[in-house]
Amino acid sequence: MSSSTEPPTPALELNRIAKAFGAVIALTSGTLALQSGSIHALVGENGAGKSTLVKIIAGLYQRDSGEFLLDGKSVDFTSTAQSKAAGIAVIYQEPTLFPDLSVTENIFMGRQPTRSFGRIDRKRMHEEALGLFARLGVRLDPERPTLGLSIADQQLIEIAKAISLDAKVLVMDEPTAALSGIEVERLFAVARSLRDEGRALLFISHRFDEVFDLCDTVTIMRDGAYIDTSPIAETTVEQIVRQMVGRDVSALFPKEEAVIGDDVLVVEGLTEHGVFENVSFTVKSGEIVALAGLVGAGRSEIARAVFGVDPYSAGRVTIGGVTVPHRNPAAAMKLGLALVPEDRRKQGLVLETSVARNATMAIRSQLTRSGLLFTRPENAAAREWASRLEVKAAALDTEAGTLSGGNQQKVVLAKWLATKPTVLIVDEPTRGIDVGTKAEVHRLLSQLAGQGLAILMISSELPEVLGMADRVLVVREGHITAEISRADATAESVMFAATHAASEIAQ
Amino acid sequence: MTNFLQALAPATRTYRDHSQPLWRRILLSREAAVIGAVLLVIIVASVSVRAFGKPITATYLLLDIAPILLIALPMTLIIITGEIDLSVASIVGLSSVTLGVLHSNGMPIEAAAVVALIVGAIAGALNGFLITIVGLPSLAVTIGTLALYRGLAVGLLGTKAVTEFSEFWTSLAKSKIGASAIPSVVIPIVILAVIFGVLLHLTPFGRGVYAIGLSAEAARFSGIHVERTKFTLFMLSGLVSALAGIYYTLRFSSARGDNATGLELSVIAAVLLGGVSIFGGRGSTLGPIAGAALIGVLASALRLANVTSDVINIITGTLLVASVVATSFLAWLHTKRIRPGKKTETLVAAKG
């Protein structure tokens, strides 16, 4: 802090907050101080611990250790109701309103003003809602149902609710992710007027232009820990990115040299309106291509469309020159495509069935003899592939859901490598798995590429992208905005491309 | 194709096939419990109910539960995918009326039976179309077609009944195998049970059925044709229901619009009693066969002991509720035991 006078007591102060879920540590030392009449930005990579910190502020999680002060007094919230009562309001990226109730009813849900005999005072509710919108300077019909309102309008309802509760601290968790330019401007105008009323605001965003436009202070987090806080006027985008990434990333993943061959997977002009537009790229044999970008940029959607689980309205996917049919994963598998999906527990595995059945699920037709599938060849194949991937399981009939995250991911990899693919798509291959298994997965992917497999990897972890990829494709809002070679790929260049429009990158 | 096997570890690890010994897996299975219950009822009834031990009892029992056994076979697969077909008894009625109307208008009975089977398959396909292509929930669709198909059946024939069928076919429906007490209808049932058993337990299609019931999303990501599988099952259900309708008509020498009204509940009761999970993903073909036998044996013994039919219904109903509650209770105990690890994992996944 550069302030020369003694700073006033912060409206909200967190000191060295720690939080672990079982063996996974989400926060080691979260520190944050919000001043009244100020908009404070919180930035960091995916998984840096921002969301966990917000959930502790909201009372959704309880801290394991550290200090949580509100107006200088220590607090312990065990529910969201308690944090609300204490004057904290959290506005999430996607508000959760009751769609069939009116705007007014949503604002006053659970605390409607009443007349005699407990009857709801609709007139007063209506007038108060009008008053709130007038204060925020927005035009919204308080009597219309919230169903069909844009996300921006829904957020404004949440803000109105927060003001009606006289919240002193407002937390906005990536509120602009789904908003258009004009909507962002309107939200910012509201945020500024709340600041001028003397409230403390916390603004979480991946977009640096917004951070610099709106906020006056910025706190950077990395790997679950506080890194730095500085006034916005005294820092630059470059410095923030350096602090966000801030480690020697290339040393983590020893990548093997692979002979890069011909194009195997070719995607041309793939479009699904509103999700991704005109996506074209190729993956060569022996090459690892990373799709980088922010969560929600449309990377997983592209992968799912290529594999055929999701639809697309235009474009073409070919493998070795043969067109992959639209919306037919079974046909894509026959052509040598395999997808290790993003959500291991919902998409990758049938959790309630055995390791053996999961491992052989994608090759079950190949294991038949005159059309019949017997347990013996099924178990033999499962034993071979589980063993090759060093899955730790007591028996072949152990339920997949009882394995650890890392071992579950190995079963998914076994399931797909058993199909002997020529193109392997891996979506967040190391999310939520322990460090040891993570390194094993990286070694495996690198060696598979070394043997000529074409790999498309989606990852939100920059070190993983920089360490593993031969080429990085950056996806922003459904478009591929940059293609960066291994030599040019740095944390700064990838982050910059992920947060800026293509026109700005070109400049 | 790339040869990437060298990149992987040598396949030297060993895994046991099963975490529990065979006797435990058999004894703890739901099928064993239901078969045990059937044997228990048979023993108790043979000793305490006077007429129960006679061969004629077994004959009538099997003739009575034949339609339930038949329809329970496709119903088992449908419930394992997490869906349900409530229109089966109405398809029985519709195929019965189709057979009766065509035959009474001069069509040979064999040809009329083929048309009745086709009508059943079409009725099942319509269910399948509405559920998989239009995407409506099977519970709602088949409640609708339950009324629709029954309405068509009653509308075609009114309150009349066609009773003119050739002696050959009607006596065949009631005939016994040689000199035994076992009715001939058991033969096609056994054949169909083997076919459905193989389909469910020994084919890639059957593996898909289980996967769909446990996680349709994971099944789709594994290249399983979720919609195609369900469509096929609903069509098979219509076809087998029509077959049951033909049997029903010939056995009672009567084609009526209200034949087999309410049979769908007995079928579903047998399937659930046989250990198939109403939530999908669990069960076998053997269980529902034992379930149908349990319902049949119990009803038969109680009837011979002069218990009225409403009391019999109360007893079967209680048994069904108790069995479903027991299953849910055991599942709840199971989740309780593994929950700590599971919860952590979910929270971590939510964090990203």
d(CA B280, CA B214): 6
Q: Are A456 and A305 in contact (CB under 8 A)?
A: no
Residue to mutate among B1, B8, B202, with most A CBs inside 10 A, is: B8
Domain, as residue range, for B328: 30-39+46-333
Residue of A nearest to B345 (CA): A405
**Distance between CA atoms of residues A302 and A285, nearest Å:** 20
Between CA A413 and CA B8 the distance in angstroms is 11
Q: What is the mean pLDDT of residues B130-150?
A: 97
Angle at the Cα of B75 from the Cα atoms of B70 and B76, rounded to 5 degrees = 100
CA torsion angle A146 A149 A150 A151 (round to 10): 0
CA angle A74, A79, A85 (to 5 degrees): 65
B14 found inside a domain: no
Name which of A351, A397, A448 is nearest B4 (Cβ-Cβ).
Answer: A448
Tell me which residue in B8, B221, B225 faces A339 most closely, judged by beta carbons.
B221
CB contact under 8 A, B3 and A452: yes
Cβ distance of A453 and B2 shorter than 8 Å: yes
Calpha distance A363→B340 (Å, rounded): 33
What 3-state class would DSSP assign to A323? strand
Vertex A149 angle, CA A146 and A153, to 5°: 100
Q: Which of A21, A257, A399 to probe by mutation at the B interface, max B CB count within 10 Å? A: A21
Domain count along chain B: 1
For residue B219, list chain A residues with Cβ-Cβ distance below 8 A.
Answer: 350
Is B22 a domain residue? no
pLDDT above 70 (res B346):
no
Show residues of chain B in contact with A362, CB under 8 Å.
Answer: 222-223
Distance from CA of A451 to the nearest CA of B (A): 5
DSSP character string of B288-347: HHHHHHHHHHHHHHHHHTT--HHHHHHHHHHHHHHHHHHHHHHHHHHHHHHHHHHHHHHH
Residue B80 lies in a domain: yes
* B1:A330 CB<8 A: no
- In Å, what is the CA distance from B298 to each residue of A145, A223, B33, B55? 55, 65, 15, 16
Q: Are A125 and A113 in contact (CB under 8 A)?
A: yes
Helix, strand, coil tally for chain A in percent (to 5):
35, 25, 40
What pLDDT, on a 0 to 100 scale, did the predictor assign at position A92?
A: 81
* Chain A residue numbers touching B224 (CB-CB < 8 A): 330, 361
More confident residue, B175 or A150: B175
Q: A-chain residues within 8 Å CB-CB of B220? A: 309, 329
Q: Do B7 and A450 touch (CB under 8 A)?
A: yes
Of A361, A393, A398, the CB nearest to B211: A361
Instruction: Report d(CA B102, CA B99) in Å as an integer.
Output: 6
For position A502, what pLDDT does the model report? 61
Q: Given an 8 Å threshold on Cβ–Cβ distance, is A432 in contact with B352?
A: yes
B196: distance to nearest CA of chain A, Å? 13
Strand A12-21, strand A24-34: pairing: antiparallel
The answer to whether A256 contacts chain B (CB < 8 Å) is no
Question: Could you identify the residue written with the tokens 């906005």?
Answer: A172
Contact of A435 with chain B, judged by CB distance below 8 Å, is answered with no
Is residue B57 in a domain? yes
- Contacting residues of B for A381, CB less than 8 Å apart: none
Cβ distance of A361 and B207 shorter than 8 Å: yes
Which CATH number characterizes residue B84's domain?
Answer: 1.10.3470
Whether A264 contacts A321, CB under 8 Å: no
Confirm whether B153 is domain-assigned. Answer: yes
Judging contacts by C-beta atoms under 8 Å, the chain B residues touching residue A337 are none
48-67 in chain A: CB under 8 A from chain B: 51-52
Q: Work out the number of other CB atoms within 10 angstroms of the CB of residue B186.
A: 17
The pLDDT tens digits of the residues spanning A204-218 come to 987 788 899 999 999
* Three-state DSSP string of B161-205: CECCCCHHHHHHHHCECCCCCCECCHHHHHHHHHHHHHHHHCCHH
Q: How far is CA A253 from the centre of its chain?
A: 23
Cross-chain Cβ contact B4/A357 below 8 Å: no
pLDDT tops 60 at residue B348: no
Q: Which two tokens stand for residue A239?
A: 């410095």
What residues in A contact B9, CB-CB < 8 Å? 387-390
Does A80 touch chain B if contact means CB atoms closer than 8 Å?
no
Residue B6 belongs to a domain: no
Using the Cβ of A259 and the Cβ atoms of chain B, whether some distance falls under 8 Å is answered with no
The pair of structure tokens assigned to B154 is 């009653």
CB A483 within 8 A of CB A282: no
Rounded to whole angstroms, the Cα distance separating A81 from A86 reads 9
How far apart are alpha carbons B56 and B9 in whole angstroms?
Answer: 65
> How close A165 comes to chain B (CA, Å)?
28
Contact between A449 and A287 under an 8 Å Cβ cutoff? The reply is yes
Structural domains present in chain A: 12-245 (3.40.50.300), 249-336+421-507 (3.40.50.300), 354-420 (no CATH)
So what's the pLDDT on residue A196? 93
Test B7 with A401 for CB contact under 8 angstroms: no
SS3 A293: strand
In angstroms, the CA B53 to CA B325 distance is 32
Q: What is the CA radius of gyration of chain A?
A: 25
Q: What is the pLDDT of residue A3?
A: 46
Distance of CA B332 to the CA centre of its chain: 25
Q: Is residue B317 part of a domain?
A: yes
A-chain residues near B223 (CB < 8 A): 329-330, 332-333, 362
Low-confidence ranges of chain A (pLDDT < 50): 1-4, 248-251
Distance from CA of B220 to the nearest CA of A (A): 7
Cβ atoms within 10 Å, residue A235: 18
Nearest C-alpha of chain A: how many angstroms from B278? 15
From B18's Cα to the closest Cα of chain A, the distance in A is 5
| Residue A77 contacts residue A83 (beta carbons within 8 Å) | yes
* CA dist., res. B352 & res. A215, Å (int): 24
The DSSP code sequence of A201-259 is EEEE-S-HHHHHHH-SEEEEEETTEEEEEEEGGG--HHHHHHHHH-S--TTTS-PPP--
Cβ distance of A388 and B220 shorter than 8 Å: no
Listed range (A259-263, A373-377, B311-315, B336-340) with the worst mean pLDDT = B336-340
Interface list for A 171-210 with B (CB within 8 A):
none
For B220, the closest of A309, A405, A444 (CB atoms) is A309
Collect all residues of chain B within an 8 Å Cβ-Cβ radius of residue A283.
none
Q: What is the pLDDT of residue B341?
A: 39
Residue in B41, B39, B32, B40 with CA at minimum distance from that of residue B312: B41
End-to-end Cα distance, chain B: 35
Contact A401 B11 (CB under 8 A): no
Domain membership of residue B1 (yes or no) is no
What distance in Å separates the CA atoms of residue B140 and residue B146, rounded to the nearest whole number?
A: 10
Q: Which of residues 265-324 of A touch B (CB under 8 A)?
A: 285, 295, 307, 309
Partner-chain contact A452 B2, CB within 8 Å? yes
Residue of chain B nearest A50, judged by CA positions: B351
| Chain B nearest CA to A19, separation (Å) | 11
Interface contact A131, partner B, CB < 8 A: no
